[in-house]
Amino acid sequence: METTAAILWEQGQDWSVETIELDPPKGREVQVRLVASGMCHSDEHIVQGDLPGLFPIICGHEGAGVVEAVGPDASFVEVGDHVVFSFMPSCGSCSSCASGHSNLCDNGGLLVAGRQIDGTSRHHAQGQDLQTLLLLGTFAHDTVVHEWSCVKVPKEVPLDKACLVGCGVTTGWGSSVYAADVQPGDKVAVVGVGGIGSAAIQGAALAGAEQIFAIDPLEWKHEVAQGFGATHTASNLEEAAALIEEETWGRKCDKVIMAMGLGDGATMDQVMGLAAKRGRVVVTNIHSAAETSNTIPMLDLTLSEKQVVGSLFGSANPRKDIPRLLELYSAGRLDLDGMITRTYTLEDINQGFADMREGKNIRGVLRYE
């Protein structure tokens, strides 16, 4: 069939919205008519080259839609199902999945850009095979993915909001709740108030943090952060250090969540300075693949027993946590609506990314009518 997709033909270019040829699903693949897709910084990282990409590629990995067709071997996804994509597939049987860490499924490992799991392509344009980001390619009206990438969700949940849980919300919320293990009474700093940071603030608040310091250079985001549960705001790490010192009586933060658009190893000394003795710094944001050094004060790491941990997808289990987060949304305990600053059509995708670069959005969402 023919459908419309935004293709990135080469790194650094604009998105090109054009007609593509989409093959029917094979094996355990499913064809999904997308309702919406969030625009995540990781898509921008492919454009900028901070994450390695293969081209031409259809990016987008925060999508939700309705299943239109299934391959002959699909086992748990049926036509008509509403699904949110998980940016990591969950095969259920690799050692990561089997040990309760399906965010690290061996079938997703290093597949930032790829084709189908069998190595062939269902997406084609201008006579070429297309890559799909994270085996998804949600910047398109229709796509074909493996059922391992699908999480079924109740039909009442609005898919144009639910799409956010396919990456940013689970990543941010899980960074607080799982990776940082925020405890009642904790003092928490969240560095960066975007899609991940605003979900991290909400996760920390729900987990019972007593103080939540939201740090972002953009003033307008301070008020937004307070709406999500931040108790204090600061514009930069220096200002945050003074505020945290004052407000915690010198104890500093039990947990620090790094949720910047792009991490910077040169600032890690300041970041570590926000953490208390035995404090944990969770590095959720992406650092450039080209970055090879940082400024973590190593002696203090030992003397203060600080921890630095990486977290992918909020250290969550997508097939368990995506429905769970949508239940919290339906119960009014997780605000997805407030995270969506602007919506766009697929034709306006370049405007959406321009707005991201200018810091105009918590999340921009493409809606496919």
Catalytic residue positions, numbered: 40, 42, 45, 61, 167
107 binds ligand CXF (CB under 6 A): no
Min CB(67)–ligand CXF separation in Å: 23
* List of E strands, the chain: 2-8, 16-22, 29-39, 57-58, 63-70, 82-85, 113-114, 123-125, 128-129, 131-133, 142-146, 150-152, 187-191, 211-215, 232-234, 253-258, 275-283, 307-310, 340-344, 363-367
Neighbours of 327 (CB within 10 A): 14
In the bound state with ligand CXF, the residue whose beta carbon lies nearer, of 66 and 111, is 111
| Contact predicate 311/173, CB 8 Å | no
Residue with the two structure tokens 């790829």: 114
| Joined tokens for residue 363 | 């999340």
In the bound state with ligand CXF, the residue whose beta carbon lies nearer, of 51 and 58, is 51
20, 22, 112, 157: which one contacts ligand CXF (CB under 6 A)? 112
Question: Which positions from 167 through 196 interact with ligand CXF, judged by CB under 6 A?
Answer: 167
Min CB(142)–ligand CXF separation in Å: 22
Which residues face 366 on adjacent strands?
37, 344
In the bound state with ligand CXF, the residue whose beta carbon lies nearer, of 177 and 209, is 177
Q: Where along the sequence are the contacts to Zn ion (CB under 5 A)? A: 40, 42, 167
Binding partner of residue 286 among ligand CXF, Zn ion, none, CB cut-off 5 to 8 Å per kind: ligand CXF
Question: Which positions from 44 through 73 interact with ligand CXF, judged by CB under 6 A?
Answer: 51
Q: By C-alpha distance, which of 324, 321, 305 is closest to 313?
A: 321
In the bound state with ligand CXF, the residue whose beta carbon lies nearer, of 287 and 306, is 287
31, 37, 42, 211: which one contacts ligand CXF (CB under 6 A)? 42
15, 85, 87, 329: which one contacts ligand CXF (CB under 6 A)? 87
The DSSP result for 25-45, as a single string, is P-TTEEEEEEEEEEE-HHHHH
Backbone φ, ψ for residue 230 (5° rounding): -65, 140
| Contact predicate 201/214, CB 8 Å | yes
Min CB(260)–ligand CXF separation in Å: 13
Min CB(127)–Zn ion separation in Å: 30
Q: Are strands 123-125 and 16-22 parallel, antiparallel or unpaired?
A: antiparallel
40 binds ligand CXF (CB under 6 A): yes
In the bound state with ligand CXF, the residue whose beta carbon lies nearer, of 40 and 84, is 40
**∠ CA 210-208-90 to the nearest 5 degrees?**
135
Binding partner of residue 112 among ligand CXF, Zn ion, none, CB cut-off 5 to 8 Å per kind: ligand CXF
Min CB(312)–Zn ion separation in Å: 11
CA dihedral (243, 246, 250, 254) in degrees, to 10, reads: -50
Given the rule CB under 6 A, which residues bind ligand CXF?
A: 40, 42, 51, 87, 112, 134, 167, 286, 312
